[in-house]
Amino acid sequence: MALKKESNSLDSEQEKFQNEDASLLELKNLENKKEIESQPLEVSKGNDNENGFLDFGFNQSILNSLRNKGYKNPTPIQKAAIPELMLGRDLLGQAQTGTGKTAAFALPLIEKLADNKELNAKVLVMTPTRELATQVAESFKSYSSESSNFKTVAIYGGTDYRNQISALKRKIDVVVGTPGRIMDHIRQGTFKIKDINCLVLDEADEMLNMGFLEDIEWIIDQLPENKQMVLFSATMPSEIRNIAKKYLNDPAEILIKSVKKETQLISQKYLYVQRHHKLDALKRILELNNEGVIIFVRTKLLTTSIAEALENSGHTVAVLNGDIPQNQRENTVDRLKKGFIDILVATDVAARGLDVERIKLVVNYDFPFDKETYTHRIGRTGRAGRSGEAILFVNQREKHFLRNLENSTRTKIEEINIPSNKIINKKKDGETYREC
């Protein structure tokens, strides 16, 4: 009887300790996970001396760069991620484009490399597309513009190997690139990776969608084992969770609840129009807004035919698709930024990484059949706290897709009509246009 009583007592104690362990594990998981409401990036418009970035302890050159860009207060993703990355922790972040996530990982990495004198790169950032690689590299260069010794190199397909090899031979701090080209340089020995101490996977879900999983794992296996890892993804499917579980060490987890606060900056509308009337409807919409416009279509052939039709109507138009050489793409985006081009007709190759502040209108000429494509398309406007407009063309067969899209994005998309002659004439006469 005594033995039974003692056994029961031991079982009770063991259960107590197990409960305590479970509680501690749950507490640790809660500490690692942060769910935050997203807010638009706040850009300073005056000589306000308040600067929320001072709290991170950045060196003066970074603060000067941020001040020159007009950045006043960090976004929620930056507030949550920067302290963790400054401590050297691995990080798993879920955030859409336009939340300030590039600065969230770029700024602390620039700070940590402020005194780096070594020749070989310390940081590798992988992106799914050439456009995003270019954009991320430009962000690193912009944030480190006051640091003369900080060097960033972008490597991706579609450009000359020799220029990239030449750049990789010089002193570099950060390499940004696409998986295929990174693998090529590692195999050829032109990219020295022995000193890499941080790997960033940006828009990891898109890399998986594009079939880069094996490439990513191969690259990770070639890198030094002791490194900081950062993974950002717009969505968090099981495949991303598996990668995080396999490669990240006790990561801080940050979820940005982006739905309402960001989409409120973008006025989302749709109009019913049959296929043979779409071009006429587009021309009427452009009578009201023809400066800073991106039109998304499904095929390369359609980009060309629409661009030609709009040029014949007197618009300044350019095309962006997978057949355009990389140097020409970069030149096109630069001309769009500078206002030499008003309208860009593009396939979804441009939906990732294209960041042009003057984009006021996105037209989904062809219906995007998944939430992610739609989100990234319309995310080309309404950036950095600015407002924007997105119009979706819907035909009779696509009605149920529209409802599915509204349900998945939890957003009510407003129906509008094709602008009438009366409305267009009012616009031309300088009157304010309001869709009734």
Buried b (16+ CB within 10 A) or exposed e, 294-330: bbbbeebebbeebbebbeeeebebbbbbeebeeeebb
- What average pLDDT score do residues 191-205 get? 95
Domain interval for residue 309: 265-427
Question: Does residue 282 sit in the same domain as residue 239?
Answer: no
pLDDT of residue 201: 97
* Claim to verify: residue 247 and residue 305 sit in the same structural domain: no
Statement: residue 110 has pLDDT above 90: yes
Nearest Cα residue to 393 out of 266, 259, 285, 267: 285
* Same domain, yes or no: 193 and 335: no
In this prediction, residues 318-339 reach a mean pLDDT of: 88
Of the ranges 262-271, 286-295, 362-371, which one carries the lowest mean pLDDT score? 262-271
433 in any annotated domain:
no
Quick one: pLDDT at residue 131? 79
Q: How confident is the model at residue 379 (pLDDT cuts 50, 70, 90)?
A: confident
User: What pLDDT is recorded for position 98?
Assistant: 66
As a whole number of angstroms, the distance between CA 272 and CA 347 comes to: 21
Give the pLDDT score at 425.
83
Enter the tokens of residue 238. Answer: 């099981």
DSSP 155-170: E-TTS-HHHHHHHHHS
Lookup result for tokens 């309208």: 343
Rounded average pLDDT over 264-287: 91
Query: Does residue 293 belong to any structural domain of this protein?
Result: yes
Indicate the DSSP class of residue 144: T
The Cα angle at residue 234 between residues 229 and 238, in degrees rounded to 5? 75
35-39, 118-122, 200-204, 353-357: the lowest-pLDDT one: 35-39
pLDDT band at 340 (very low <50, low <70, confident <90, very high): very high
**Residue 21, pLDDT above cutoff 80:** no
**Mean pLDDT on 267-295:** 93
Q: What is the pLDDT of residue 67?
A: 86
Residue 36 pLDDT level (bands cut at 50, 70, 90) = low
CA distance 299 to 317: 17
Least confident of 82-86, 111-115, 146-150, 400-404: 400-404
**pLDDT at res. 353:** 65
For the chain, give the mean pLDDT. 83
Is residue 14 a part of any domain in this protein? no
pLDDT computed for residue 134 by the predictor: 86
Look at residue 8 and tell me whether its pLDDT is greater than 90: no
Whether residue 89 is contained in a domain is answered as: yes
pLDDT at 436: 39
Contact 215, 128 (CB under 8 A): no
Distances (CA, A) of 90 to 43, 83, 201: 29, 11, 12
Length of the chain: 436
Residue 5 clears pLDDT 90, i.e. is over it: no
Residues 178 and 277 in one domain: no
What is the torsional sign of CA 27, 251, 80, 51? positive
Please check whether residues 170 and 282 belong to one and the same domain.
Answer: no
Question: Tokens 């452009």 appear where?
Answer: 286
Report H helices in 71-230. Answer: 76-86, 101-112, 130-143, 161-169, 179-188, 204-209, 213-222
Q: Are residues 143 and 235 in the same domain?
A: yes
- The reply to whether 229 and 321 lie within a common domain is no
- Write down the pLDDT at residue 302: 93
More confidently predicted of 174 and 37 = 174
**pLDDT mean over 42-56:** 61
Whether 103 maps to a domain, the answer reads yes
Angle at 240 between CA 239 and CA 241, to 5 degrees: 90
Residue with tokens 């739905």: 259
Residue 12, in any domain of the structure: no
Is pLDDT at 366 greater than 50 in this prediction? yes
Q: Measured between alpha carbons, how far apart are the two ends of the chain, in Å? A: 85
Are 272 and 252 in a shared domain?
Answer: no
Note the pLDDT of residue 108: 96
Asked, for residue 1, whether it belongs to a domain, the answer is no
The helix (H) or strand (E) run that includes residue 238 is helix 238-247
**pLDDT of res. 403:** 84
pLDDT tens per residue across span 166-176: 999 999 999 99
Question: Does residue 251 share a domain with residue 269?
Answer: no
In total, how many domains does the chain have?
A: 2
Over residues 100-108, the mean pLDDT reads 92
Q: Are residues 69 and 86 in the same domain?
A: yes
Structure-model confidence comparison of residues 225 and 15, the more confident one: 225
What is the band of 165 on the pLDDT scale with cuts at 50, 70, 90?
very high
- The reported pLDDT for the residue numbered 137 is 92
Residues 239 and 272 both lie in one domain: no
Question: Band of the pLDDT at 35, cuts 50, 70, 90?
Answer: low
Which of 257, 282, 308 is the C-terminal boundary of a domain?
Answer: 257
Token couple for 153: 């190199």
pLDDT-wise least confident of 109-123, 199-213, 280-294, 346-360? 346-360
pLDDT digits (tens, 9 = 90+) for 407-433: 877 788 999 999 888 888 877 776 444
**Same domain, yes or no, for 178 and 315?**
no
pLDDT over 70, % of the chain? 82
- CATH of residue 295's domain is 3.40.50.300
Residue 12 clears pLDDT 60, i.e. is over it: no
- 405 pLDDT higher than 80: yes
pLDDT at position 259, please?
44
Supply the pLDDT for residue 264.
60
